[in-house]
Amino acid sequence: MSGKLYLCATPIGNLGDVSARCLEVLSSADLIAAEDTRRTLQLLNHFGITKPLTSYHEHNKREKGGYIVSLLKDGKNVALVSDAGTPAISDPGEDMVKLCIENGIEVTSVPGPVAAVNALILSGLNASRFAFEGFLSVNKRHRREHLESIKNDTRTLIFYEAPHKLKNTIADMQSAFGGNRRIALARELTKIHEEVMRCTLDEAAAYYEENAPRGEYVIVVEGAAAEKSETENEWNDVPVKEHVERYISQGMTVKDAVKAAAADRNVPKRDVYNEYHKED
Ligand code: SAM
């Protein structure tokens, strides 16, 4: 019988965030596959765990993936650990999961920290609907096309970013989303220098003209302003005639009042005109 692949979430900074079950799984696995063996070794040493450790990262995932699958097929249990946080979220763990599924090997998760979710809940932005966008491409054109394609998304958007690319990314976001869009820059989460800066894109750009970005960042961006749907339009409760007359009473011509009312109600001018002139 095949063994199991355990996707073990590890701390994104504070070692106290490791779960009891994660330690139990790491202690009992036949092999630990780690994205960054040095970092994982620190974790294992801290908790006194000694287990065979192998690397599994972006540059060896093909050969190493095959090797890990062969061990799993031999009945060994393997714990997969990423650099930090939850494996398969913006790291090669995703490929390992696909490979196991293709080979009929059971995969299970040991939940824990994810930088994106923690940044979202601290952002103060709408957390009920959000989209995780991961890392933007290093290619300028692809990055801009990506941002253009999501500029009208009304969900909160979450990005990962490295400090040396932060300023360019903020500039590209200003161009795509407009400088008034609110953001939260969550930095060094769960660590001593944890900080969440809540501001607009323009304010963030001005701040990083004066201050060098430091540490690991998650950028949380407010979604685009939603156009009011027909059912949400507050003018729906006001009869059309009364609506037009309100503008006329403010000194507008009938033509301008019809135009303004049509814009408020998000309907064609002709409809408002016809309704206004309809006999009671
Ligand atoms: N798998 C991880 C997770 O579950 O969040 C993410 C791995 S991804 C390769 C690394 C990126 O996550 C960093 O560049 C940064 O954007 C974000 N990140 C990781 N730890 C962080 C922290 N403590 N504070 C802020 N962002 C962090």
Q: Same domain, yes or no, for 13 and 107?
A: yes
Kindly give the number of the ligand 1 atom that is closest to the alpha carbon of 161: 16
Q: Same domain, yes or no, for 97 and 194?
A: no
How far apart are the CA of 83 and the centre of ligand 1, in A?
Answer: 9
| Last residue in a domain, options 221, 243, 260 | 221
Q: Same domain, yes or no, for 90 and 18?
A: yes
Q: Same domain, yes or no, for 75 and 141?
A: no
Q: What is residue 250's DSSP assignment?
A: T
Q: How far is CA 204 from CA 93, 197, 254, 279, in A?
A: 32, 8, 45, 56
Phi, psi of 265 (to 5 degrees): -90, -5
DSSP-derived 3-state class of residue 255: helix
Q: Same domain, yes or no, for 128 and 212?
A: yes
Range of the domain at 99: 4-113
- What pLDDT tens digit does each residue of the chain (280 aa) get? 899 999 999 999 999 999 999 999 999 999 999 999 999 999 999 999 999 999 999 999 999 999 999 999 999 999 999 999 999 999 999 999 999 999 999 999 999 999 999 999 999 999 999 999 999 999 999 999 999 999 999 999 999 999 999 999 999 999 999 999 999 999 999 999 999 999 999 999 999 999 999 999 999 999 999 755 555 677 888 999 999 999 998 888 999 899 888 888 878 888 989 999 888 7
How far apart are the CA of 161 and the centre of ligand 1, in A?
Answer: 8
CA distance 17 to 145: 37
Q: Which of 120, 133, 217, 221 to probe ligand 1 with, by most ligand atoms within 8 A of CB?
A: 217
For the range 257-260, what are the long-range contacts, defined as Cβ-Cβ under 8 Å and sequence gap of 24 or more? none
How far apart are the CA of 149 and the centre of ligand 1, in A?
Answer: 24
Q: Same domain, yes or no, for 24 and 75?
A: yes
How far apart are the CA of 168 and the centre of ligand 1, in A?
Answer: 19
Phi, psi of 233 (to 5 degrees): -65, 120
Kindly give the number of the ligand 1 atom that is closest to the alpha carbon of 91: 9
Largest CA distance in the chain: 87
> Is the Cα dihedral 68, 58, 136, 208 positive or negative?
positive
Provide the token pair at 235: 């003018």
Q: Same domain, yes or no, for 135 and 187?
A: yes
User: What CATH code is carried by the domain that includes residue 46?
Assistant: 3.40.1010.10
Q: Same domain, yes or no, for 140 and 94?
A: no
How far apart are the CA of 187 and the centre of ligand 1, in A?
Answer: 9
Burial state string for 225-243 with b = 16 or more CB within 10 A and e = fewer than 16 = eeeeeeeeeebeeeebeeb
User: What CATH code is carried by the domain that includes residue 183?
Assistant: 3.30.950.10
Q: Same domain, yes or no, for 149 and 206?
A: yes
Atom 20 of ligand 1, nearest CA residue: 12
Closest C-alpha to 134, from 172, 160, 105, 95: 160
| Last residue in a domain, options 78, 113, 148 | 113
How far apart are the CA of 227 and the centre of ligand 1, in A?
Answer: 33
Which residues partner with 85 through β-bridges? 10
| Last residue in a domain, options 113, 134, 165 | 113
Q: pTM for this structure?
A: 0.82
Kindly give the number of the ligand 1 atom that is closest to the alpha carbon of 13: 23
Provide the token pair at 58: 């972006």
Q: Same domain, yes or no, for 164 and 261?
A: no
> Is the Cα dihedral 228, 230, 232, 237 positive or negative?
positive
Work out how many domains the chain is built from and give that number: 3
Alpha carbons within 13 angstroms on the beta-carbon side of residue 88 total 20
Q: Same domain, yes or no, for 73 and 21?
A: yes
Q: Same domain, yes or no, for 137 and 75?
A: no
| Ligand 1 lining (C-beta closer than 6 Å) | 12-13, 82-86, 89-91, 114-116, 160-162, 186-191, 216-218
